[in-house]
Amino acid sequence: MELVLATNFDDGLIEKVHDLPVSTFFGGFPVSLTGAGRPPYILPSVSPEKLARHLEVIHRGGRKFFATLNSNDLGLHEYEPGFLGKFREEVQQMVDLGVDGFVVALPLLVEIIRRDHPNVPVSISTFARLRTVNQAEYFRKMGAEHVILEEGNRDFRLVRGLTRAKIPVEVLVNQTCIRDCPFRGHHLNTSSLCSQPGGGKLWFEHPILQCGLEVVKDPSKLISSIWIRPEDLSIYEEAGVHRFKISGRNRSTAWLSKVARIYTERKYEGNLLDILSFVQVKGPSAAIERLGREGPQLGVLPNFEKAFQALDNVSIDNKAFPAGFMRRIAEMDCEHISCSTCGYCASIAERVVRINGEPPSRYHPPQDLPPSYVLLPGFGQAVGEMAERTEAESSPPTHPRAPHPLPVLSPAGGEEEAHGPSPLGRPSFSSGEGSSTDDGAGAV
């Protein structure tokens, strides 16, 4: 068993997990030339000097550090003269700081890193959205060391196919993204672009709200989503997987060390949501609360507040799962059958999920919610400056009007032209550490 653990750049984290099978930590600058797969406002700030010191602590314990350069969208900047040269310089600087490897999603960036640094390993990010063995083989031929599964981590035909093809697999275990999420492509692009210089046009990612509303409407999606219980790691080991990733780059040292220990012990008797991201409910709840406190007073806002408040007290009793839960899923063909036709996860939800102490069958989902896009402008502007503009967006226009240019938010919440340059050798982006929006798009 090998754990790959997110770091929050607290050196104390390394000591707290010194006795656990953590082989690798991962993380990155909140803003980088290519983007790093997380919105900067949820991550702790880190300078090159702080990164170098953190790597020294990691290396003293015999562990490695992989830097996240896992954007899936470069905003067409790759076609600009000098961009690829700047990327190669940034990679070289990180290697000089002591970075052991990289997490990357785009084939272009894999090829550049492998050509310039043939001895530096590259893992293929979940942002690459690998769903077939053939896709993974392309990356392996480019020199990738591991492929990381998130969306496909319950597709055991894929998992077994990869290991039979001798492709090393790493699976993400603690994200709660809904299965086959239709909003994921937009979400990954949003996270990628907003973590690049000049990308700070938002303070909350709208696709998380869309995802959350699906859970609010049908809490059984909490069971069919893509997490893996600590008790079920052995099923993946039987399939040839021995490397497990734990996300949470914006979480506390206490939380990260607790989750790593629970997965090491392969047992947890509490609320499973304690060790999962649960971003699609916690994030929108906090964002809607902030809009209500500081933003435009929209008439529809109480509808969304009430919808998410219904899941304020939700739990998943990890002790109540049947022993063969994941083994049953491993034998099914979930990729080619509707959840509504199957019904297995819904039946498990009735057994293990409680909403205000009651099973999902006693839950009454909200009806006639307005479309979530009415809140979108408020997430892309400085709250407190959006009342008139957002009110106009929430109603059909009576006449054509010119679009408003979006200001770019500075770390302090004001406006500026851009985030500024990539942080290497220059000021880093200072963010709101400990944001309740959790870990953004998922994992790297």
- What is the pLDDT, as a whole number, of residue 321? 98
E strand segments, 274-344: 314-316
Q: Contact, 124 vs 136, CB < 8 A?
A: yes
CA angle in degrees (0–180, nearest 5) for 442-176-137: 55
* CA atoms 262, 264, 265, 267: torsion sign: positive
Tell me which H or E stretch contains 27: strand 22-27
For every one of its 444 residues, what pLDDT tens digit does the chain have, with 9 covering 90 and above? Answer: 999 999 999 999 999 999 999 999 999 999 999 998 889 989 999 999 999 999 999 999 999 999 999 999 999 999 999 999 999 999 999 999 999 999 999 999 999 999 999 999 999 999 999 999 999 999 999 999 999 999 999 999 999 999 999 999 999 999 999 999 999 999 999 999 999 999 888 999 999 999 999 999 999 999 999 999 999 999 999 999 999 999 999 999 999 999 999 999 999 999 999 999 999 999 999 999 999 888 766 788 999 999 999 899 999 999 999 999 999 999 998 989 999 899 999 999 999 999 999 999 999 999 889 999 999 888 986 544 544 444 444 333 333 333 333 233 333 333 333 334 445 544 333 333 333 344 444 455
From its phi and psi, is residue 408 left (phi > 0), alpha (psi between -120 and 50) or beta? beta
**The predicted structure's pLDDT at residue 292:** 87
- Looking at residue 293, its pLDDT comes to 86
The predicted pLDDT at position 252 comes to 97
Alpha-carbon gap, residue 148 to 136, rounded angstroms = 10
pLDDT of residue 395: 38
Task: Identify the pLDDT of residue 389.
Answer: 45
Strands 2-6 and 243-246: parallel
What are the structure tokens assigned to 281, written together?
């409910």
Instruction: Tell me how many domains the chain contains.
Output: 1
Domain that holds residue 443: 1-444
Structure tokens given for 325: 């839960």
pLDDT of residue 408: 30
* CATH number, position 320: 3.20.20.70
- What is the pLDDT, as a whole number, of residue 200? 83
Spatial separation of the C-alpha atoms in residues 272 and 315, rounded to whole Å: 7
Element of type H or E holding 420: none
